[in-house]
Amino acid sequence: MRSLEGQTLFITGASRGIGRAIALRAAADGARIAIAAKTSEPHPTLPGTIHSVAEEIEAAGGTALPLVVDVRDETRIAAAIEATAARFGGLDIVVNNASALFPAKTPETPMKRYDLMMSVNVRGTFATTQAALPHLLESPRPRVLMLSPPLNLVPQWFGDHCAYTMSKYAMSMCVLGMAEEFRDAGIAVNALWPRTMILTAASSLLGVAPDGCRTPEIMADAAHAILSKDALTCTGKFFLDEDVLRAEGTTDFARYDCVPGAPLTPDLFVA
């Protein structure tokens, strides 16, 4: 695989889970990484803070900048982007990983939860990408990656959890629109989604962890492959992790299984 050495990444929601795994994979190449997340102090039930991940990044060979960021606050996003560019001399990659999950039907979805998902998933993604644009335009290899699903407009997903589906598909619509909008500027905008459930706080909430899950490292390896591609020729794509890695020559996926031999559970939005 190609290397992210010398690249600067801004990853939202990187204090745990898939965001953390993507950060550590980039760190192994010697990348510079801003960990943008809310958790600066240990959470009572969830592992990881921006500071613990910063230590892991440094130990893995990268350079870290921990930043307290709530992606609902565009002022804080802009300040964090500027701090990243000032510290590392620019910005090459934005990974919009931060996401809020509440997979409930319409009558069981409080408006507070609806607003949270729209604010984090849609508004946060848009605001982060928007704030990063001036610096991405100065990068020789500018890329944006959304952790959002393929635009499979299957009625089941809307019937099962309408509000959550709308919020995740809106992230994917950002990919569709921004890839076209910034094509001539050379900014690649793509999406990545897991074929199976990934062991995270979300999979625990859905009751499928650890059986049926793969580790976050499969998403990290797939993200690395996408971010290493030529920004001029790879944009506007909706990737599934397994498909990306198969195209890279990976044949052994068992090493990503949380429980060896257990049947894997397809992720949401995967037909």
Catalytic center residues: 164
The Cα 188–Cα 232 span in angstroms is 7
By the 8 A CB rule, do 31 and 5 touch? yes
The Cα 66–Cα 154 span in angstroms is 39
Question: What's the CA gap between 137 and 140, in Å, rounded?
Answer: 8
1 close to 226: Cβ distance less than 8 angstroms: no
Residues 6+ away with beta carbon under 8 Å from 26:
4, 7, 9, 33, 62, 224, 227
R_g of the chain, CA atoms, integer Å: 17
